[in-house]
Amino acid sequence: MIKIWNYGEYSNDNYGSCRAVSIGDITLYFSYDTIVAFSIGYKLTISENVWSNTTGKHLNFINPNKSIRTPYEEFKKKLENLEKVIDIITKDIEDKILIETL
């Protein structure tokens, strides 16, 4: 199932766009158009803040514990690996759909 929601429960819109997208067990957390955290099941990977104060507020809403934040360069590598896995899954699904239509 695919689910999209705002993870910030702010009283006004001064905090920008903070949306999350879940596809199955994978959840991507966005601050504006940038992925700043992701989870697979219950395992959260959250970046240190290298952006703005507003993104810092978004990160705090996801999880306020700064000691679990991943250094940005390491976070980017983990996100790239996740994207590769998603690409493999997507390709596998596309192949299955193609075979079923033959």
Domain ranges across the chain: 2-101
The arithmetic mean of pLDDT across residues 70-98, rounded, is 88
As a whole number, mean pLDDT of residues 40-66 equals 95
Least reliable range by pLDDT among 5-19, 30-44, 64-78: 5-19
pLDDT value at 16 more than 80 = no
CB-side exposure of 88: number of CA atoms within 13 Å? 6
d(CA 76, CA 79): 5
pTM score of the predicted model: 0.83
pLDDT averaged over every residue in the chain = 88
Q: Could you give the CA distance from residue 14 to residue 12 in angstroms, rounded to a whole number?
A: 6
